[in-house]
Amino acid sequence: MSQTLTQLQSNQVARFSSRKVVQLGVFTALALMIHVLEAPLPRPLPWLKLGLSNIIPLVLIHLMGVGEALVVTFLRTLLGAFILGSFLSPGFILSFCGGLMSTLMMGLAYRSLYPKLTLIGISVSGALIHNITQLLIAYWLFFQTLHLGDLSLIMLLPLLITSAIPAGILVGYLGSAVCLRLKEDF
């Protein structure tokens, strides 16, 4: 009993060590930089983008844990909105909810299926949930009052599902490359 208690305490200490705080700060800064730099890149459609900043939560889930990834995603979307001037705008609500839900999904997939499902598959599942969350929220926020019918919502699904695949694969490859290089430091 006393042993588990000390173990618990040492875990607690490790959880909030200054080393970890610094690491999370660096990862937040990195994610924020990717987030802000990606914003002005040209896109095929106004609401389709690669979501490269999801590399950071993916790497964090692998190297540290789901909680850390969620904290960094929360800070990244919030601070990103302050920098881009989109705080509380529709775009912010979409990226905030989409980011948190996709990080949660990647965490769930990692805990239950890794390493059978590699970081590539995990990132694809995250991208998918990101897109579906955004579709549902956009519908609920803006398009519900337009009475377009459910068909127009379903019609968008194939596009959102297929676009999640290349984005997810790219993020997965980049994320696993980053993990390989960072492994010695963790």
Partner 1 sequence: MRPSRLDALLIGVLLLSSLGIFLGVKLVSAAGTQVEVYRGETLLHSLPLHKERLLPVNSQQGRLVLQIKDGAARITEVDCPRQVCRSMGPISQAGQAMICLPNQIIVKIRKTHESDLDATTE
Binding site for partner 1 (CB under 8 A): 45-46, 113, 115-121, 124-125, 128, 143, 145-146, 148-149, 151-152, 154-155, 157-159, 161-162, 164-165, 169, 172-173, 176-177, 180
Which CB, 71 or 178, lies closer to partner 1?
Answer: 178
User: Residue 139 and residue 53: Cα distance in Å, rounded?
Assistant: 24
Sign of CA dihedral 69, 15, 33, 88: positive
User: Residue 29 and residue 20: Cα distance in Å, rounded?
Assistant: 14
Give the residue from 96, 121, 103 showing the smallest Cα distance to 66: 103
User: Residue 85 and residue 127: Cα distance in Å, rounded?
Assistant: 24
Which CB, 11 or 112, lies closer to partner 1?
Answer: 112
Smallest gap, in angstroms, from Cβ of residue 124 to partner 1? 6
Smallest gap, in angstroms, from Cβ of residue 55 to partner 1? 13
Q: Is residue 86 a contact partner of residue 18, using CB atoms and an 8 Å limit? A: no
Smallest gap, in angstroms, from Cβ of residue 161 to partner 1? 4
Smallest gap, in angstroms, from Cβ of residue 31 to partner 1? 21
